[in-house]
Amino acid sequence: MPWIRNRSLHVVIRWQVLLTAFMALVFGWILGLHGAVSGFLGGMVSVISSTIYALIISSHKGYTAGGAIRTALRAEAVKIIVIIASLWAVFAAYKEVNPTAFIGVFIMTVIIFSMALFVTNDSKDIK
């Protein structure tokens, strides 16, 4: 994802994808195909909204504090809209959804996103 210039967001989105894949396998093993699909969709709701957030943040070119805050608020608003629309779409379109797997993986990936604060920018730049 070279278009995401913020290293913290890049790393956290990668963690979200890995957690989503792992949990889809776990729920697939425990609950079968619909459990795997539900877990995968739950994680992808968060991954997609986080990626959109990161793209908006990465497109910021201003140098003022006000501009940075406006960009962050716009990115967060878009992220929330995408999450709400995606959650609704999955529950409306996928009748066999397993709510426990879906919401469980979604919550785990949202928590992973909050860990971006703990990712340092000390290592190599993302190009």
The pLDDT value recorded for residue 41 is: 97
- Structural domain contains residue 112: yes
Q: Are 48 and 82 in contact (CB under 8 A)?
A: yes
Closest to 94 in 3D by CA, of 13, 39, 12: 39
Domain count of the fold of the chain: 1
Structure tokens at 43: 């994680």
Q: Which domain holds residue 49?
A: 7-117
- pLDDT tens track for 3-59: 777 778 888 899 999 999 999 999 999 999 999 999 999 999 999 999 999 999 888
**CA separation, residue 12 to residues 27, 49, 88, 108, 109 (Å):** 22, 12, 24, 12, 9
- Structural domain contains residue 11: yes
- Structural domain contains residue 123: no
- pLDDT tens track for 94-121: 999 999 999 999 999 999 988 876 766 6
- Structural domain contains residue 101: yes
This prediction has a pTM of 0.85
- Structural domain contains residue 1: no
- Structural domain contains residue 122: no
The pLDDT value recorded for residue 29 is: 96
- Structural domain contains residue 38: yes
